[in-house]
Amino acid sequence: MIADLIKANRSCRRFDQGHRIKSERLLELVDLARLSASAANLQPLKYILSNGPQTNARIFDCLKWAGYLKSWNGPVEGERPTAYIVVLNDTRICAKVDCDHGIAGQSILLGAREKGLAGCMIAAVNRPKLSNVLHIDACYQILLVLAIGKPKEKAVIGTVDADGNIQYWRDENHIHHVPKRSLEEIVIRCYDG
Amino acid sequence: MIADLIKANRSCRRFDQGHRIKSERLLELVDLARLSASAANLQPLKYILSNGPQTNARIFDCLKWAGYLKSWNGPVEGERPTAYIVVLNDTRICAKVDCDHGIAGQSILLGAREKGLAGCMIAAVNRPKLSNVLHIDACYQILLVLAIGKPKEKAVIGTVDADGNIQYWRDENHIHHVPKRSLEEIVIRCYDG
């Protein structure tokens, strides 16, 4: 059931850094994005993959983690992602993407979750620094970095309280709580006539 | 397997218009989007649903179909979608969304496909007209219209030839062909060190 997979597919920010991910696995995940929808079928997205410890460390230094957890600077050594998929827009094909990277990111992370992995779509990226680290040509625009690894944290879905606060938070057992708006709040109306 | 579902989930533009879709089914699909990732967990997306013939007809008049099929003006009466999910950005929550609507759209259409339905994410929308038809408040930005129904066309994935042409096309048996770029073309490199 896709519903079970979507519910299980929580953004994850702490990983078992001892768990290496093979290049073949990353290619399988990108293949899911390749076969997903693309506006006007232009398929402008390109990908740079990393599963090597040295490059991973350099990519990690370009990312900002979990803006709402003010006292947390991101995963410590030992709990960092063991792979990254950098999602680029090839501006020679499309000047500006609309939401292709969301479609692709969702396909990739659902595929990762099915294989016992987990990840996080990160848009808070130091783009000039990452371009330099990965020698990214100027024709490519960095859209997202997908951080992937074997999950080492538990996340649970909660509800947004009357105060409307949507900030995720961690409890004393390091469980990550994600408040979601109710269906009633997000569906404005349904026309059945 | 999510890979099978993603492969089966081709954009669909011709439907069995005799097949009605219940409001409960549409709400189930929106629930999949609700439980999917959202940037900074802001959840700015709101939804207007339609499964009524009269409103569907008015929404249909606001959409442009399949830009590459120049001799086709969209599905004829009898082959039109029987439901729509209009994806809005609540600008009071987020001034501009990045790719939340792609994430949501993919979750919804994967869910639809699992239930034997199919759909198409349409961004070529006459937004002022649709705002008027659906009485959409100015605080909402129309991002996408998801057209949904019971599929009445077959689509197959092909490969992009050496000429680089990515335009989908229909053969004499009305089978819809979608050329996809190869994995080799879209993966720039993999760092394993």
Q: Which ipTM was obtained for this model?
A: 0.97
Q: Cα–Cα distances in Å, from A149 out to A42, A93, A123?
A: 30, 31, 18
Which residues from chain B sit within 8 angstroms of residue A31, using beta carbons? 3, 183
Question: With pLDDT > 90 as the criterion, what percentage of chain B qualifies?
Answer: 95
Contacts of A77 (CB under 8 A, 6+ apart): A17
Instruction: Give the mean pLDDT of chain B.
Output: 97
What region, left, alpha or beta, does residue B70 occupy, with left being phi > 0 and alpha being psi -120 to 50 degrees?
alpha
DSSP string computed for A75-143? PPTTSS-SEEEEEEEETTT-SS-SSHHHHHHHHHHHHHHHTT-EEEEE--B-HHHHHHHTT--TTEEEE
Question: With pLDDT > 90 as the criterion, what percentage of chain A qualifies?
Answer: 95
Q: Cα–Cα distances in Å, from A170 out to A63, A167, A193?
A: 20, 10, 45
A162 contact B CB<8A? no
Measured between alpha carbons, how far is A172 from A22 in angstroms, rounded to an integer?
34
Q: What is the pTM of this model?
A: 0.98
Q: Tell me, what's the pLDDT at B60? A: 98
Q: How confident is the model at residue B192 (pLDDT cuts 50, 70, 90)?
A: very high
Interchain pair A102, B101: CB under 8 A: yes
Token readout for B10 is 């081709």
Q: How many CB pairs under 8 A join A and B?
A: 225
Measured between alpha carbons, how far is B61 from A172 in angstroms, rounded to an integer?
54
Q: Tell me, what's the pLDDT at A69? A: 87
Tell me the average pLDDT across A32-48: 98
User: Is the pLDDT assigned to residue B70 strictly greater than 90?
Assistant: no
Interchain pair B102, A107: CB under 8 A: no
Measured between alpha carbons, how far is A183 from A186 in angstroms, rounded to an integer?
5
Which residues from chain A sit within 8 angstroms of residue B193, using beta carbons? 52-55
Q: How confident is the model at residue B67 (pLDDT cuts 50, 70, 90)?
A: confident
Q: Tell me, what's the pLDDT at B69? A: 87
In this predicted model, what pLDDT tens digit does every residue of A154-163 receive, in sequence order? 999 999 988 9
Contact B83/B21 with Cβ under 8 angstroms? yes
Identify the bridge partners of residue B87 per DSSP, sorted by sequence position: B47, B144
Q: Cα–Cα distances in Å, from A93 out to A28, A153, B10, B147?
A: 23, 39, 22, 26
Q: Tell me, what's the pLDDT at A67? A: 83
Measured between alpha carbons, how far is A9 from A21 in angstroms, rounded to an integer?
18
User: Is the pLDDT assigned to residue B45 strictly greater than 90?
Assistant: yes
User: Is the pLDDT assigned to residue B55 strictly greater than 90?
Assistant: yes
> Cα distance from A178 to chain B (closest Cα, Å)?
8
What residue type is assigned to position A20 of the chain? R
B 45-64: CB under 8 A from A: 45-55
More confident residue, B67 or A18: A18
Q: How confident is the model at residue A36 (pLDDT cuts 50, 70, 90)?
A: very high
Interchain pair B41, A7: CB under 8 A: no
Which residues from chain B sit within 8 angstroms of residue A100, using beta carbons? 99, 102
Interchain pair A111, B3: CB under 8 A: yes
In this predicted model, what pLDDT tens digit does every residue of A46-100 receive, in sequence order? 999 999 999 999 999 999 998 898 889 899 999 999 999 999 999 999 999 999 9
Q: Tell me, what's the pLDDT at A94? A: 97
B 2-31: CB under 8 A from A: 2-3, 5-7, 9, 11, 23, 26-28, 30-31
A 61-120: CB under 8 A from B: 67-68, 88, 98-107, 109-111, 114
